[in-house]
């Protein structure tokens, strides 16, 4: 015979239903948290968040025309370049590098004709510089004329495949190191700085989370000056009494020479045979320089001795002929 459900059974079924709803809600919440968590590429992101989704505004950077970075700079995806607004935002200077980058390849810069732009390399203004391909090694600063004043806009450094780089590499603002090695070993680095004190081949990978672009710097750090030697007959005072041969030069070495305090061309064979005072500067491909200063005194080599012997023989011949003629005159 049928009857009404027991009150305890109804209460149990209600509790089970409530638990099921609570579990489902908790599952949805956990999924939302996981979905909203930053990816590996933006773990250091500290920029603005979308007010609706809570996602970083740059999480879909490649779908937008530009993404703002530090210090008023932004990345333009259409131009594939970093943009630096000037003239109260009326114009931009575009560059293939971010402010503070160290690179081994050439750098390109472009700007509107209305922008009065000056390029400095190692503190010296460059005249008629090819902005589409700046490739000389050095520290660069880009400045612009803003009204009645000149201000530095951004800077970067170009190094070679071999370098005597000092001071390490501080990442541009908003960039972070992912991995770094020196030779076969892992190099010690902080999130945004690597010292690069040891000599060796460095391979550094880093990222700009805001635009999701990754970069690689690979260079050999070499701080050993060129090892050159001077071969010749040298006295205790360091003076040479013979010709001097410069040994130990390597491919890529640049040699400049002063002879008796005047600039002179260094011979390709490295053989110096004129008496005088010499100063040599040898710079290797990494930028290390060695200097040698020495003197070659007046000396007689084989050719000089032969020439001297010929002179003496000629004089003896002339003297003998004169004595012969004089003697012959007396007989007569």
Stretch among 49-63, 117-131, 249-263, 299-313 having the lowest mean pLDDT: 49-63
- Which H or E run includes 246? strand 244-247
Q: What's the first-to-final CA gap in the chain, in angstroms?
A: 183
Q: What's residue 12's pLDDT?
A: 66
- Residue 102 pLDDT exceeds 90: yes
Q: Given the DSSP bridges, would you call strands 262-264 and 271-272 parallel, antiparallel or unpaired?
A: unpaired
- Residue 37 pLDDT exceeds 90: no
Q: What's residue 332's pLDDT?
A: 55
pTM: 0.70
Between vectors from CA 320 to CA 315 and to CA 324, what angle results, nearest 5°? 150
- Residues ≥6 apart with Cβ < 8 Å to 222: 162, 163, 164, 199, 284, 286, 288
| Inter-CA distances, 117 with 90, 120, 125, 129, Å | 15, 10, 11, 11
Domains of the chain: 61-221 (no CATH), 229-296 (2.60.40)
Between vectors from CA 150 to CA 144 and to CA 156, what angle results, nearest 5°? 50
- Residue 46 pLDDT exceeds 60: no
Dump pLDDT digits (tens) for 12-21: 666 666 666 5
| Residue 305: band (very low, low, confident or very high) from pLDDT cuts 50, 70, 90 | low
CA 196/CA 187 separation, integer angstroms: 8
Dump pLDDT digits (tens) for 173-225: 999 999 999 999 999 999 999 999 999 999 999 999 999 999 999 999 999 99
Higher-pLDDT residue of 314 and 240 is: 240
Q: Given the DSSP bridges, would you call strands 124-125 and 169-170 parallel, antiparallel or unpaired?
A: unpaired
Dump pLDDT digits (tens) for 319-328: 766 766 666 6
Q: What's residue 167's pLDDT?
A: 86
- Which H or E run includes 328? helix 302-331
- Residue 10 pLDDT exceeds 80: no
Integer-rounded Cα Rg, in Å, for the chain is 38
Q: From 171, 103, 192, select the one nearest 139 (Cα to Cα).
A: 103
Q: Given the DSSP bridges, would you call strands 109-111 and 102-103 parallel, antiparallel or unpaired?
A: unpaired
Q: What's residue 28's pLDDT?
A: 55
- Residues ≥6 apart with Cβ < 8 Å to 212: 41, 42, 58, 61, 62
Percentage of residues in the chain having pLDDT higher than 70: 73
Helices H / strands E in the chain, number of each? 2, 24
Q: What's residue 132's pLDDT?
A: 94
- Residues ≥6 apart with Cβ < 8 Å to 161: 104, 218, 219, 220, 285
Q: From 198, 250, 245, select the one nearest 219 (Cα to Cα).
A: 198
DSSP 45: -
Tell me the pLDDT of the chain averaged across its residues: 83
């Amino acid at each position: 015979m049928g009857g009404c459900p027991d009150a305890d059974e109804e209460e149990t079924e209600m509790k089970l239903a409530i638990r099921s709803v609570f579990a489902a809600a908790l599952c949805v919440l956990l999924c939302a948290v996981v979905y909203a968590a930053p990816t590996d590429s933006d773990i250091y992101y500290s920029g603005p968040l979308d007010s609706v989704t809570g996602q970083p505004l740059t999480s879909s950077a490649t779908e937008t025309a530009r993404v703002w970075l530090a210090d008023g700079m932004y990345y333009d995806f259409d131009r594939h370049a970093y943009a630096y607004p000037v003239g109260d935002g009326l114009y931009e200077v575009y560059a293939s590098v971010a402010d503070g980058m160290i690179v081994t390849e050439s750098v390109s810069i472009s700007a509107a004709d209305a922008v009065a732009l000056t390029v400095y390399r190692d503190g010296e203004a460059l005249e008629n510089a090819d902005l589409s391909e700046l490739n000389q090694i050095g520290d660069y600063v880009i400045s612009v004329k803003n009204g009645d004043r000149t201000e530095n806009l951004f800077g970067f450094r170009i190094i070679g495949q071999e370098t005597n780089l000092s001071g390490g590499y501080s990442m541009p603002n908003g960039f972070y190191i992912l991995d770094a090695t020196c030779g076969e070993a892992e190099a010690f680095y902080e999130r945004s700085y690597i010292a690069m004190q040891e000599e060796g081949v460095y391979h550094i990978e880093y990222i700009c989370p805001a635009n999701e672009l990754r970069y690689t710097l690979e260079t050999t750090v070499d701080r050993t000056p060129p090892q050159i030697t001077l071969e010749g007959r040298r006295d205790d005072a360091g003076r040479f009494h013979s010709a001097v041969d410069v040994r130990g030069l390597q491919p890529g070495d640049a040699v400049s020479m002063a002879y008796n305090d005047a600039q002179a061309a260094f011979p390709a064979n490295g053989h110096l045979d004129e008496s005088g005072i010499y100063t040599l500067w040898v710079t290797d491909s990494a930028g290390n320089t060695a200097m040698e200063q020495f003197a070659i005194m007046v000396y007689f080599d084989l050719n000089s001795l032969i020439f001297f012997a010929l002179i003496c023989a000629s004089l003896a011949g002339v003297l003998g002929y004169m004595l012969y003629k004089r003697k012959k005159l007396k007989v007569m």
